[in-house]
Structure 1
Amino acid sequence: MHRLNWDDLQYVLAVADAQSVAGAARELGVNHATVLRRIAAFEESVGTQVFDRTPRGYALRPDRLRLIAAAREVGQAVTSVCNLADGLDAPLGGHARVTSTDTLCQTVLPEILSELCGKRTELQLSLISTNSHLNLSRLEAELTVRPAKVLPEGLVGETPVSMHFAAYALPGCANLGWLGFDGAMRRSTAWAWLEPQLDKGRVVASGDSFLVLRELVARGVGKALLPVFVGRKDPRLERIDIDLPGNLATPIWVACHEDLADVPRLIRIRKLLCDALEARSRDFVA
């Protein structure tokens, strides 16, 4: 057996995931011929054919599943080594990609990042707005600011504040029906409490973003549970006095991948973000 070229692993795993050379090429940003060459080199190195070539694309052979599983472990280990090496050599300033929900990205975080970049010109921060969890192990982002009861496996971080909820409606419209949660928000503690309170069919409309729900409330479609930092600052809305359980409060995490937890640059930025959020703690409390 020839010596393995570990760079070939990403091509093998990309084809296994995409089940086609074209899909792997798009994912990796290379041309079709490069993927074919890398797959051929890997198969020659391991001395066996990994994929069946079919009219529908490259199909992973069933008896090669353990080989691919081992390749994934090696790929993750190589990524961890590269992430650690890059992070330890990086200066305390520099560029960092921060991901968060659309709600936080359009309310609290722009002000925080503006302050940080203004006071510390050595920092360059990118703010990535998405309600999906980016893969921090692949450095789609280095830091995340995200509400969650617990962090996903592989992430470490701190919770400087918790996000509290209240009910809001247009003035005089407290008797309207409730707005529901959709998408990833259906996993939230707020929806876990509200959904059982509703009679079947009582949801008048729904959204997958607190900003969308706020606009629906402002247009008289219904009433909604909103984070207080979203509802309180909107002069169009009126808070409804209803009893809410205290356990609806959701921690807001400032976190990174565990492989990068000891990188000095990210430790510093995490602390700056935590301090800035904690300084605004009154905005998050009901």
Structure 2
Amino acid sequence: MQRDNWDDLRFVLAVAEEGSVSGAARRLGVNHATVLRRIAAFEEATGVEIFDKTARGYAVPDAHRRVIEATREVDRAVQAVGRMIHGARAPVTGDIRVTATDSLCQIVLPAIVARLGRTVPGLRIELISSNLHIDLARSQADVSIRPALSLPDDLRGERAGVLGFGLYRARTGDGGDEGAEPWLEPSGALARSVVGRWVAGHVDPVRITGGADSFMVLRELCAAGRGLSFLPCVIAAGDPRLVPAPGIAPRLQTDLWVASHVDLYDIPRIRAARIALAEGLSEQGAALQGAA
């Protein structure tokens, strides 16, 4: 394999992991035609048709899975070298990209970031609001603030508190028959959260009348009377449109982490931002956890 084929291999790996050309194009930030051209270039250069192309997408035949695994290892090594070089030349001041859920970005983090801007004026914080787990290995963000039971092996960070969830209904509703009251479900990435798993395991699907992949959207649906919804206490407890729905489900909670990729953990500006963010979240511990 010639060294100048590595760039084509990035496209091969993206298609293999996403399962489609369109998914790979979104991930790499290019158009559909560029992905097709790069895949064709790779296959022509190697004489190997790397994918089975079907109506359902692009699949890797068993005979070529070792090629994809080897490509994935090269990608990890290239990303690690890039992170180390970036860390070696990174100043104490500069831009910090912080990814967090939309609930945290809208309700909790602005005040903490504003204070950080006053105490460490050399740091410029960009908030990336996403309920999906941004890939820190690809340097899409420097710090991740996430509710999770634990951190994956490639992340290292501090536990900054506990995020509590309560069950709520619209204030204008009378509650009706609790055995028949409709529910809203967390969908998308939220389906894997502690509340998403509880709803999936305890609520009859026939009672679920809708859902959303955002707690901020679930809050609005709940306030509009669409059904019961688990919500983070920090975004729901002060909303006059909502009231708790006690006695139906347990209070749930999960740890809240402030983390960086292991290769970026000790970079001074990232460490300073991470510590300040963790301290700010810790100070809001009671609001984040919710009243007992």
Is the shorter-chain TM-score for this pair beyond 0.5, marking a shared fold?
A: yes
Distance 1:284 1:66, change over 3 A: same
In structure 1, give the amino acid aligned to 2:119.
K
Partner of 1:79: 79
Answering whether residue 233 of structure 2 is matched by residue 232 of structure 1, we say no
TM-score, length-scaled by structure 2: 0.80
Q: Deviations over 1:26-60 (max 9, x none)?
A: 8365995995898499x5xxxx544469999x997
199-208 vs 267-276, which moves further = 199-208
Answering whether residue 248 of structure 2 is matched by residue 251 of structure 1, we say no
Give, in angstroms, the shift of residue 236 of structure 1: 1.7
Give, in angstroms, the shift of residue 63 of structure 1: 4.8
Partner of 1:116: 116
Q: Deviations over 1:138-170 (max 9, x none)?
A: 111111111111223411211111111112222
Aligned match of 2:182 in 160, 177, 192? 177
Distance 1:236 1:90, change over 3 A: same
CA distance in 2, matches of 1:13, 1:91: 30
8 Å contact 1:24–1:35 — kept in the other structure? no
Give, in angstroms, the shift of residue 129 of structure 1: 1.0
10-19 vs 74-83, which moves further = 10-19
Distance 1:38 1:160, change over 3 A: same
Kindly name which structure, 1 or 2, has the bigger radius of gyration based on alpha carbons.
1
SS in 2 for 1:260: coil
Task: Report matched runs for 1:115-264 at 5 Å.
Answer: 115-171=115-171, 172-175=173-176, 176-242=181-247, 244-245=249-250, 248-264=252-268
> How many residues align structurally?
277
SS in 2 for 1:87: helix
CA distance in 1, matches of 2:282, 2:218: 26
8 Å contact 1:13–1:68 — kept in the other structure? no
CA distance in 2, matches of 1:192, 1:34: 41
SS in 2 for 1:10: helix
Gaps of 5+ in 1: none
Partner of 2:277: 273
CA distance in 1, matches of 2:114, 2:220: 26
SS in 2 for 1:91: coil
CA distance in 2, matches of 1:202, 1:181: 14
Percent identity of paired positions between Structure 1 and Structure 2: 36
Distance 1:214 1:67, change over 3 A: closer
8 Å contact 1:96–1:126 — kept in the other structure? yes
In structure 1, give the amino acid aligned to 2:80.
S
